[in-house]
Each structure stands twice: as structure tokens, then as C-alpha cells.
């Protein structure tokens, strides 16, 4: 009797041990599943965003092959290199040359065949006109395409923040913007000490024609908004009549330009800059005083963005603050 009880007890004990091992294995399996599940949820995921034209765009996680033509300043600021960079027949954005060294070029108007050849996984477009007609649908067939829209594209700060949002780099975009604003504030204080109340204008000479910068766009925004230099009346008039970053202006109208400082982007230097020998140009007050600071067309004055604007600030300080 006792022997049978012992055998029965031993059987129950062994059964309980087996059951315990099985339960432990199941628990371990669930824990591993839970751990794996947690790791999966932490991995970057694609996001859905609505662009300026109302298109819902599925942005891939960590896109590696981005085309953002003429928006490269923002990409470089965020530590991102595009798969191709903007170009025109005469060149590229030279002020970004070091940062984009080795990056192949793509025509500024983004032909479909050229875009396809780079096999992008994300396309970011600035202006509405770049995707007018059926262009958007054509680009969207190649890769997810996000349009900033004219309003955001015209304000480089907003463009930087929006691209930061699209790429999941909002913090980096805001930090870059804060750093720029701090630099501009210090520069403004230096200018107030060295040239309080003085005015300036930026002029572009190209193919014997003159253009004057807008008082609210491009390098004009840096001169007047960020650095606090006074806006000459001629600049105000040209800006009110025009819509571009740079507005055409006659040499005769430039004769009325009463600015203390002139920043000249000379694209005609290689051809002799004949227009600068004209007596009307020579009679402009700032020219007569020797307060003209000349830069090549490769300089950042024709562009906008954190990097371009920072270089413009450095140029202004070097020219005015002695």
C-alpha cells in the first residue's frame, strides 16, 4: 500500500515539474514576443503629411535619396545630403560647394527622366508652379512628393521648419534657427554701434542690367529685418512695384539711390562690367564715397537660407564694422 502511494506521489511530483517547466517556457516566449514587439514599435515609421496643395503624402522613414531642388541650403543645415543638387547651365549654388562636394547635378526644372534616373525615395518641391498641370502626378509616380507652397517657400525660416517636420528633424531645424537668430542679434548690435541709422542696398548687375533686392526677401530680409539697416526710398519703391526677390531698376533710377552702403553682386565681371563705368553710376553718392562692396555671382547674396544668410551677415560685418 505504502509503495503504491509513493509511486503515485512520485508521478504527481514529476507531472508538476513538467508543468512548471512548460509554463516557464511559455512565459519566456511571451516575454521575448513582448520585447520584440516593443523593439518594432520603437523603429522609425513612415508618416502621413498634407502638403500645401492638399495632397496627402506618405513620407518614408529615414529617406536616403532625397531630391529637393533649390532647397539644398535647408537640407545641409539639417545634416542631410541630397541625391542630386540644383543646377542651371551656368553653374550651381557655389556657396554650398564644399557641403555638396561630389553630389551630381540635376537641371533646375527637374525633367521627369532626370528625376527618375536618380531613383529618389522622396521629392520636396518649393513653389506651386514647379508642379503645375500634371507635373505633380508625374513626380508622385516616381516617389512621394511634398510641395511647400509659395507662401512657405518665400520665407526661408518657415521653409526650414517645414522641411524639418517632413524629415522628422523639427528639433534640429529649430535649433539651427535659434542659433542664426542669436548670431543676427549680436551682429545687429555691432552695426548699431558702428553705423547707427545708416542705410544700405544690394544691387545685382547681370548682362548689363541692374536689379535691386526686395526689402523683405532674399538678402534684403537680412539687411533690413535681421540687421536693422535703414531702407532707402528707392528700395521701398522698387519693392512695392515688383514681386520678385530682385526687381529690375534703371541706371537713371539708381542715380536717385541715397544709400550709405551698396553691396554689389557683379555677374558681369568677366565681361568687363561696362555698366559700372557709366558716369551715372559713378555719380551715385555711395559710389563716390567708396562705400561699394563687390561680390561675385557665386556668393550667397542671391540665395536664402540659414547658411546663405549667415554668410551675408559675415560679409556685412566685414564691410561696415571696421
Kindly state the average pLDDT of the residues 137-149. 98
Residue 197 and residue 316 in one domain: yes
Dump pLDDT digits (tens) for 305-315.
Answer: 999 999 999 99
Kindly state the average pLDDT of the residues 155-163. 97
Dump pLDDT digits (tens) for 37-52.
Answer: 444 445 568 999 999 9
Domain count, the chain: 3
Q: Name the residue with cell 522698387.
A: 238
Residue 33 and residue 134 in one domain: no
The set of cell numbers assigned to 25 is: 517556457
pLDDT of residue 151 exceeding 60, the answer is yes
Report yes or no on 175 lying in a domain. no
Report yes or no on 177 lying in a domain. no
Report yes or no on 92 lying in a domain. yes
pLDDT of residue 20 exceeding 80, the answer is no
CATH of the domain at 67: 3.40.50.1980
Report yes or no on 31 lying in a domain. yes
Its domain, for residue 164, covers 47-168
The whole-number pLDDT of residue 235 equals 97
DSSP codes, 230-287: BPPHHHHHHHHH--SSEEEE-HHHHTT---SEEEEEETTGGGT-GGGGSHHHHTSHHH
285, 195 in Cβ contact below 8 A? Answer: no
Predicted TM-score (pTM) of the model is: 0.85
Residue 139 and residue 78 in one domain: yes
CA-based radius of gyration for the chain? 30
Residue 30 and residue 53 in one domain: no
Any idea what DSSP says for residue 131?
G
Amino acid at each position: 500500500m505504502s509503495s503504491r502511494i509513493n509511486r503515485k506521489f512520485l508521478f504527481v511530483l514529476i507531472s508538476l515539474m513538467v508543468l512548471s517547466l512548460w509554463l516557464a517556457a511559455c512565459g519566456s516566449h511571451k516575454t521575448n514576443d513582448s520585447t520584440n514587439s516593443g523593439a518594432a514599435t520603437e523603429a522609425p515609421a513612415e508618416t502621413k503629411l498634407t502638403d500645401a496643395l492638399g495632397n496627402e503624402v506618405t513620407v518614408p522613414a529615414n529617406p536616403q535619396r532625397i531630391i529637393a531642388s533649390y532647397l539644398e541650403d535647408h537640407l545641409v543645415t539639417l545634416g542631410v545630403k541630397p541625391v542630386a543638387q540644383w543646377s542651371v547651365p551656368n553653374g550651381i549654388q557655389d556657396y554650398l560647394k564644399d557641403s555638396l562636394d561630389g553630389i551630381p547635378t540635376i537641371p533646375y526644372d527637374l525633367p521627369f527622366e532626370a528625376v527618375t534616373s536618380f531613383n529618389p525615395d522622396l521629392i520636396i518641391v518649393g513653389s506651386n508652379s514647379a508642379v503645375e498641370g500634371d507635373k505633380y502626378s508625374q513626380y508622385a509616380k516616381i516617389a512621394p512628393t511634398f510641395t511647400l507652397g509659395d507662401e512657405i517657400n518665400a520665407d526661408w525660416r518657415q521653409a526650414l521648419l517645414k522641411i524639418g517636420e517632413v524629415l522628422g528633424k523639427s528639433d534640429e531645424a529649430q535649433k539651427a534657427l535659434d542659433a542664426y537668430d542669436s548670431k543676427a542679434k549680436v551682429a545687429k548690435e555691432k552695426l548699431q554701434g558702428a553705423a547707427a541709422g545708416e542705410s544700405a542696398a544690394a544691387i545685382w548687375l547681370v548682362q548689363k542690367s541692374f536689379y535691386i533686392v526686395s526689402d523683405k526677401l532674399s538678402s534684403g530680409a537680412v539687411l533690413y529685418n535681421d540687421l536693422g539697416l535703414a531702407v532707402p526710398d528707392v528700395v521701398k519703391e522698387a519693392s512695392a512695384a515688383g514681386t520678385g526677390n530682385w526687381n529690375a531698376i534703371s541706371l537713371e533710377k539708381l542715380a536717385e539711390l541715397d544709400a550709405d552702403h551698396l553691396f554689389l553682386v557683379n555677374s558681369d565681371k568677366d565681361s568687363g562690367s561696362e555698366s559700372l563705368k557709366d558716369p551715372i553710376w559713378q555719380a551715385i553718392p555711395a559710389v563716390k564715397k567708396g562705400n561699394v562692396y563687390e561680390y561675385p555671382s557665386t556668393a550667397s547674396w542671391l540665395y536664402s537660407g540659414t547658411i546663405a544668410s549667415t554668410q551675408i551677415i559675415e560679409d556685412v560685418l566685414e564691410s561696415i564694422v571696421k
